[in-house]
Amino acid sequence: MAFRANEARQNGEERALSYLVNRHIESTERARSQNKVIEIIDRYGPVIDSYPCWHPLVSTHDRRSPETLPGERCGYKGLDHTVYMANAFVTCPYNNGQEVIDAVDNLPYNLTYPVAIIEAERLDVQLYSSGATPILVSCQWIRRSLMDGMIPKSLAIPLILEREVPCWTWANFAETWETMRPYFLGRPHGSRSSLFISQETGQVIKKIWNALIYTGMFGPIRVD
């Protein structure tokens, strides 16, 4: 099936609203909760299934094993009932959320600065459940991104190279574009684009990745 970005955005927003603004939210609060979710999506980008492995929200960890969702291996703690946006995520633990905030405050910013800063804050609305404390964890890009919200190749390419080139020292095989595509583009994605990356940028990433693996620096190309 062809990748349709507008359809993916719409489906993601509907899914987030259904999950975060449900019957466990007090009826008097639902309108305000829904408006807050829409506001967050408008500011931080569409709802996604997973991040590119080089995205600052998931790159704060041991780089030998790629991560595409925030979790303990990326330095986060206390996440529960989480919805992911392109440049933020909302998590709703059944406590005051201090564990999440403390974990974000202790992230190794040297791995994201000067590209981005990750911040956490409590939200003053009910999300997921009236008994949960919604926390917004956001990626504040220091370097300018494109007006359409896509991450430009001037950021994506160096972040990919910074992560992948050092792998030559321990890699046994080179992975093909087909294998690495979800790690480089995030999900949902098409053949060369996603909700993070334009078709033009995706094409450049593919060309650079193919050029790297055909040098032999990672070893023979894995063929399954």
Residue 177's pLDDT band, with cuts at 50, 70 and 90, is very high
Write out the E strands in 29-167.
Answer: 82-85, 88-91, 116-122, 135-141
Same domain, 162 and 104: no
Instruction: Decide if 120 is inside a domain.
Output: yes
Q: Mean of the pLDDT values across residues 198-211?
A: 97
Q: Is residue 149 scored above 70 in pLDDT?
A: yes
Q: Mean of the pLDDT values across residues 96-101?
A: 97
Residue 148's pLDDT band, with cuts at 50, 70 and 90, is confident
Residue 125's pLDDT band, with cuts at 50, 70 and 90, is very high
Residue 120: what are its φ and ψ, rounded to 5°? -135, 145
The model's pTM = 0.95
Name the pairing type of β-strands 82-85 and 88-91.
antiparallel
Helices 199-213 and 177-185 pack at an angle, to 10 degrees, of 130
First to last CA, the chain: 23
Structural element, H or E, at residue 205: helix 199-213
Residue 100: strand, helix, or coil: helix
Q: Is residue 147 scored above 70 in pLDDT?
A: no
Provide the residue range defining the domain that includes 192: 153-213
Last residue of a domain, one of 141, 162, 196: 141
Q: Is residue 3 scored above 70 in pLDDT?
A: yes
Instruction: Decide if 224 is inside a domain.
Output: no
Average pLDDT of every residue of the chain:
93
Please name every residue paired with 51 in a beta bridge, in sequence order, or none if there are none: none
Last residue of a domain, one of 121, 141, 161: 141
Residue 132 confidence (pLDDT): 98
